[in-house]
Amino acid sequence: MMVKSHRLILVPIAIFFFFALLGSAFLFAATSRPNLRSAAKLRSNTALTRQAIRNTQTMISMPRFMYGTAWKKDRTKDLVELAVRTGFRGIDTACQPKHYFEPGVGEALQALYTEGVVTREDIFLQTKFTSLNGQDPNNIPYDKNANLSQQVHESFVVSCQNLRTPYVNSLVLHGPMPRFADTMQIWRAMEEIHSTGGALQLGISNTYDIKTLRQLYTEASVKPTVLQNRFYADSGYDTEIRAFCKEHSIAYQSFWTLTANPHILKSGAMKQLTKKYSMTSEQVFFMFVQALGITPLTGSSSELHMKQDLDTLSVTMDAADVELLNGMLG
């Protein structure tokens, strides 16, 4: 009888605690839900998650729009934070204090990680090695007297410290050297970084000579998967180079995409297209280059323009309009 009475007493107590815990769980869920929704909203606004492209060589996903951080100086941290909050997930920088403030990029990303806006895995982070001829003589981020290979390794260590990361998604040579042998010496050092997992893929920038690109591709053990060039008339809009990139699964990134093309942005044809798509001329041109398979960089400091840039990823330009603008490239 004593055992039964204890059981009768324990049952309602257990039921009481069960419902008390259940109520606490519902209360916690209800009070936590706004934060969860905020986090979900930030992630759902990310253009990269819907619009990433996968490189067939490396099987690495890369965004179709990159945020460039050149010339931002002391505004770098705030603008990178704004860009990521707006939806950008591709960040381009360089270990070149003359034009980039890499520590500001790292500070911004760390703040975003800490806040839970993004994780490191959400970000496609691209930096560059810049040789001595592109550096400020009074602010060189590596030993100027070291050999080229050592300079590359020292520059990469500085980049990782600045960016607060053990690896980058893409390591780019800022430009080929006057002597191809020196270009290859730098590339071999970049390959060493790649082999240890420091850089997931390699690329090159400011390469307007198809022979140089072909030779690099032929001699490289780790093939370039990124080429970043100025998109302008003086280079013939890299028609031959872009064809080579397409053939060899090299992502073509463009900078000065708007700045170098005011004649197209102000054309009569562009005015008609802005009406057709209910977009600005800048949006239409970005949409056009994306239709060509190009990943443009933008360095906008305006939240409105950042949003407008990313909105272009949700619209597909009609083939006839692509041909119309393509004909204006000459």
Per-residue pLDDT of the chain (330 residues; tens, 9 = 90+): 333 333 333 334 343 333 333 333 323 233 222 232 333 333 333 444 445 777 766 778 899 999 999 999 999 999 999 999 999 999 999 999 999 999 999 999 999 999 999 999 999 999 999 999 999 999 999 999 999 999 999 999 999 999 999 999 999 999 999 999 999 999 999 999 999 999 999 999 999 999 999 999 999 999 999 999 999 999 999 999 999 999 999 999 999 999 999 999 999 999 999 999 999 999 999 999 999 999 999 999 999 999 999 999 999 999 999 999 999 997
Question: Is residue 39, in this structure, part of any structural domain at all?
Answer: no
Domain count, the chain: 1
For residue 89, which of 116, 147, 50, 55 has the smallest C-alpha distance? Answer: 50
pLDDT recorded at residue 51: 59
For residue 297, which of 66, 100, 61, 53 has the smallest C-alpha distance? Answer: 66
Query: Which are the contacts of 17, defined by CB distance < 8 A and separation ≥ 6?
Result: none
Question: Is residue 8, in this structure, part of any structural domain at all?
Answer: no
pLDDT digits (tens, 9 = 90+) for 245-284: 999 999 999 999 999 999 999 999 999 999 999 999 999 9
Question: Is residue 75, in this structure, part of any structural domain at all?
Answer: yes
> Tokens at residue 98, please?
């003359």
Phi, psi at residue 223, to the nearest 5°? -70, 145
Question: Is residue 71, in this structure, part of any structural domain at all?
Answer: yes
Beta bridge pairs of residue 90 = 124
> Tokens at residue 275, please?
């009406």
pLDDT digits (tens, 9 = 90+) for 287-311: 999 999 999 999 999 999 999 999 9
Strands 61-62 and 53-54: antiparallel
Which amino acid is it at 28?
F
Question: Is residue 160, in this structure, part of any structural domain at all?
Answer: yes
Domain that holds residue 201: 46-261+294-299
Q: What is the CATH number of the domain that holds 126?
A: 3.20.20.100
Question: Is residue 268, in this structure, part of any structural domain at all?
Answer: no
Distance CA 181, CA 179 (A): 5
Question: Is residue 328, in this structure, part of any structural domain at all?
Answer: no
Question: Is residue 170, in this structure, part of any structural domain at all?
Answer: yes
Distance CA 164, CA 60 (A): 21
